[in-house]
Amino acid sequence: MATRTRSFLLVAAAVVCAVIVSPAAAAEPYLCTWRTVAHVDDPFIQFLGKWALEQQSVPLRFDKVDSAKAQGVHQCTSLTRNYELIIEAANRVGPGDDKYKAVVFVKYFAQPYKLVSFERISA
């Protein structure tokens, strides 16, 4: 009987430790390293670039996504990713090509996407 009680107490202690540690770990998502997207001309990558541009209130004309990186969130092989996109766009009211960097959070099979950041960068 003492062995059962001891085993029960060990299991209970392990559960308490897991509950205490879990909330802190859940607060900060695990981010994998950024990896270059090999096929930047993929229709999904181009769609994300156009979508990110459309979220802005400035009149910009989408040209293309010039380069892209992907970063897994929570698990490196997960279907939850951040995409860093370098977008070529032009001002709709005048000539000139500009580049913008956008970070888009994507959870596959779920929408809407989330625009994490968007900024103009040096060409």
> Which residues partner with 91 through β-bridges?
60
Can you tell me the mean pLDDT for 90-101? 77
**5-9, 14-18, 68-72, 115-119: segment of lowest average pLDDT:** 14-18
Residue 3 is predicted with a pLDDT of 61
Instruction: Please say whether the beta carbons of 101 and 122 come within 8 A.
Output: no
Q: Report the distance separating Cα 50 and Cα 65, nearest Å.
A: 8
Where residue 71 falls among pLDDT bands split at 50, 70, 90? very high
Cα distance between residue 122 and residue 92, in whole Å = 19
pLDDT, mean of residues 55-62: 88
In DSSP terms, 84 is beta-bridged to 69, 103
Contacts for 71 with CB less than 8 Å, ≥ 6 apart: 31, 32, 33, 34, 35, 81, 82, 83, 84
Q: What domains can be seen in the chain, in order of their start residue?
A: 35-121 (3.10.450.10)
Over residues 104-120, mean pLDDT: 89
Q: Report pLDDT for 20.
A: 40
Q: Work out the number of other CB atoms within 10 angstroms of the CB of residue 33.
A: 8
